[in-house]
Amino acid sequence: MDTLALEATSPKKADNAAAAPSPGLAAPAKRKPAKKAKKAVVFFEVEILDAKTKGKLCFLDKVEPNATIGEIKSMFHKSHPQWYPARQSIRLDSKGKSLKDEDVLQHLPVGTTATFYFRDLGAQISWVTVFLTEYAGPLLLYLMFYFRVPFIYAPKYDFTTSKHWVVHLACMCHSFHYVKRLLETLFVHRFSHGTMPLRNIFKNCTYYWGFAAWMAYYINHPLYTPPIYGEQQIRLALVMFLIGNFSIHIALRNLRPPGSKTRKIPYPTKNPFTWIFLLVSCPNYTYELGSWLGFTLMTQCLPVAFFTVVGFIQMTVWAKGKHRSYLKEFRDYPPLRSPILPFVL
């Protein structure tokens, strides 16, 4: 039995011995996984021409395909220090629209040799500086007329006060309005564009400062007469004036994270003052119009009424432009909304 058992098991040992590598032979080497071939990066050549003369201003070689227009502006600025990025307008066509800073080179309708056109936007100034200047002027000018500083009215009225309480109320409302605007500029607003042309500050200040002085002169004049319907008219006007647009500014601010330029469709929040978003694209202008209508009713002053009409025309232009951009940018934009007045305009 032992012999048979040894004979039966011996072939297996032989097979195992044959399968095992001999001490003198090395084991076969393992194959290393093949490395993935890297894709070659196709760099762009960017040529920047003057939009007016079509002359070459700059040639940028080996620009990465994921470079943004903002980065191209920075490259252009290195060769032309007098044109800082905020001053540049880069376009695909000499008469076309300016490209956005966040536009990516490889996503634009250009080849690997891209041609752009440059326009100088002129000296720039920050929006914050513009707004602070615009709103500080009316606040200070109105108070000068309210306190009747010398050289405005007859000398006998210097530093006197009006006998009509509505004049004092109007001063508080006007001051409150512009103090609120200054605080919103500093702590609430988030601007999609950091700067605007410097020349605009002179035009804007002429508008705001000029109207403020004109209104204040008549409201604080020693011969001013209060509204016809007395206290009832003034109280109604005060309610209209106080329904302001602060809630709208907060809602719009929350749509844009700090440091971003993202745009979203504004919707009503839990705040009842934002429910007007259901019917209007730009309720901040709607509330602004209501405030100045209330101030017109409160003071019953013709210059205030004229300022309200001019402001309404300008705000309508802005609201229509913003409404059109919403419709163009968002396919699911609510169809019931009007630019500034529900179902009307």
In eight-state DSSP terms, residue 331 is T
Nearest by Cα to 162 from 145, 184, 175: 145
Position 189 scores a pLDDT of 80
Nearest by Cα to 267 from 183, 334, 181: 334
**DSSP per-residue string spanning 165-210:** HHHHHHHHHHHHHHHHHHHHHHHT---SSSEEETHHHHHHHHHHHH
* 313, 304 contact by CB (below 8 A): no
Helix, strand, or coil (residue 326): helix
Domain 44-122 class?
Answer: alpha beta
Position 135 scores a pLDDT of 95
Domain boundaries, given as residue ranges, for the chain: 44-122, 125-329
Report the range out of 27-31, 46-50, 269-273 with the highest average pLDDT. Answer: 46-50
Segment 103-128 mean pLDDT: 91
* 49, 57 contact by CB (below 8 A): yes
Residue 278 pLDDT grade (very low, low, confident, very high; cuts 50, 70, 90)? very high
**Lowest mean pLDDT segment, chosen from 27-36, 223-232, 269-278, 284-293:** 27-36
Per residue in 248-257, pLDDT (tens digit) is 888 888 877 6
